[in-house]
Amino acid sequence: MDSRIFISIAAYRDPELLPTVRDALANARHPERLTFGICWQRAAMDDTLREFAADPRFRILDVPYAESHGVCWARHEIQQLLGDEDFYFQIDSHTRFAEGWDDQLLTMFRNLDDERAVIGSYPPSYKPGFDGYLNDRNPNRMTISRFHPDGNACLEPKGVLNFEQLSRAFPARFASGGFMFASARLPKEVLYDPFFYFSGEEIGYTVRAFTHGFNLYNPHRAVIWHYYTRQGSLRHWDDHQQAPRSQEPARRLRQLLGQADEGVDLGPYGLGTARTLADFRNWAGVDVSRKMIHRQAREGGIPPHDPNDEAGWRCDMKRHELVLRWANERLVLPDDVTFVAVMVDDQHRVNLFRRDFPETSILEQGGRLSCEFECDRRSRPANLVVWAHSQSAGWEQRCRTVFGASWETVSAVPRWTPPLHSPSRMMFDFQWPEWTIHPFVSTSGGGPHEKSLDQRPAP
């Protein structure tokens, strides 16, 4: 069967784009059966694709870099270029290929006997100018370690053990943005959300593909390699520094994953109807709505996880309770405040709890907020953050205070009176059952959007 493969490449000012395309052609068993859909977001001085301009296998969107909206937007635009090709292969613009990679992927797909299979993972790595990567034949599987503050999952690669003994791809929990091989029906049924930016791309597309009835697999052989460090290369956020600060992608992600009702209409970029998020929880051992990870998923076992192992959901969890108090008269808000976020972060500044108060509604709380949450036992609630957002300035200056080093669960009521706008120096008075902390805050240090804290012993 002369199957044709559509290769999707989103490239942002990447000097590795041309080497990637050339390597794909040089190592393909049937380069005449390939079609390249490329969104080339570039500056005038960046490399062109002139050598392929007249090649009918290439469909190129030449986009001035200043008009780019990020990788998810670019992938969405590329999907509009798909024609009558049989297969869809999504990669990044910094990739290298095994010899006969096209036949390898087609064979891997057909051996599954699953027309709705999606094969992919984080590829092993390469470095330009060095051929040693060809000796690294160990494929990766995708695992999860925790959730980020915006609701995104922290996905990580782990090598496949004893991969030489495997004869076919094996079940996976997640889809990878930089290595995704499926029938061409995937991009037709599950269009990329162009309103996502970068964070949340993979967990978002994972649950959408899964709920549309597609089945996820890890490759059992290394077929491509990825350049991860990309030293000296420009990223989209280097030229578009306001883009990562937009809250719209994070709100869309939380709405999609069922973490919060953000009032966002996802339109055609929502979940499918073939399966539910509860089905994904039962398959993957990952509860994206509650941001919980089953022990089997954390350890990287092959899904589905054991539905009878209910204890696995709670074995690594610990419950925390916190009551915050503040004086409303000292809570100074911007005139055009849109909301105020009250958050608890762990020792790695990963968010454990967040509550947003629209406009000035935080003042209606009567100076009191109760927090109850569960988190991984390895995460220690360590930072309390109050952060206002305004229409004119976006995120205002963040106020952060540090909990005691041995604190785990708060059982008494701390007293906290944070002014959000202040002179160059202010003091938080923070009382706990066993001690009193007087952290002093100065606007110097900690970056332009965060006040640093200098914790002093109680008198």
CA distance 27 to 131: 14
Give residue 245's pLDDT.
64
Domains and CATH numbers, the chain: 5-238 (3.90.550.10), 317-456 (2.60.40)
Put simply, whether the predicted model's pTM sits higher than 0.75 gets the answer no
- Between strands 179-183 and 117-119, the pairing is antiparallel
- The DSSP secondary-structure symbol of 89 reads E
Give residue 325's pLDDT.
67
Angle between helices 201-211 and 277-284 (to 10 degrees): 110
Span 360-414, pLDDT tens digits? 888 888 878 888 877 777 777 888 787 888 878 777 777 776 764 433 333 333 3
CA distance 141 to 122: 7
Q: What are phi and psi of 302, to 5 degrees?
A: -75, 130
Q: Is the model's pLDDT at 439 over the cut of 60?
A: no
Torsion angle of alpha carbons 2, 101, 62, 188, nearest 10°? 60
Instruction: Look up residue 2 and give its two tokens.
Output: 């002369």
Measuring CA to CA, which residue among 184, 188, 189 is closest to residue 272?
189
Span 237-259, pLDDT tens digits? 888 887 766 788 999 999 999 99
- The DSSP secondary-structure symbol of 15 reads T
Q: Is the model's pLDDT at 186 over the cut of 50?
A: yes
Q: Are 427 and 435 in contact (CB under 8 A)?
A: no
Give the count of alpha carbons within 13 A of 429, CB side only: 7
Residue 47: pLDDT band with limits 50, 70, 90:
confident
CA distance 75 to 352: 31
- Between strands 58-64 and 34-42, the pairing is parallel
Q: What are phi and psi of 355, to 5 degrees?
A: -135, 125
Task: Give the helix, strand, coil percentages of the chain, each rounded to 5.
Answer: 25, 30, 45
> Does 304 or 119 have the greater pLDDT score?
119
Tell me the Cα Rg of the chain: 24
Q: Is the model's pLDDT at 434 over the cut of 60?
A: no
CA distance 16 to 10: 12
Q: Is the model's pLDDT at 352 over the cut of 90?
A: no
Amino acid (1-letter code) at residue 189: E
Average pLDDT, the chain: 83
Measuring CA to CA, which residue among 135, 123, 100, 235 is closest to residue 180?
123
Residue 428: pLDDT band with limits 50, 70, 90:
very low
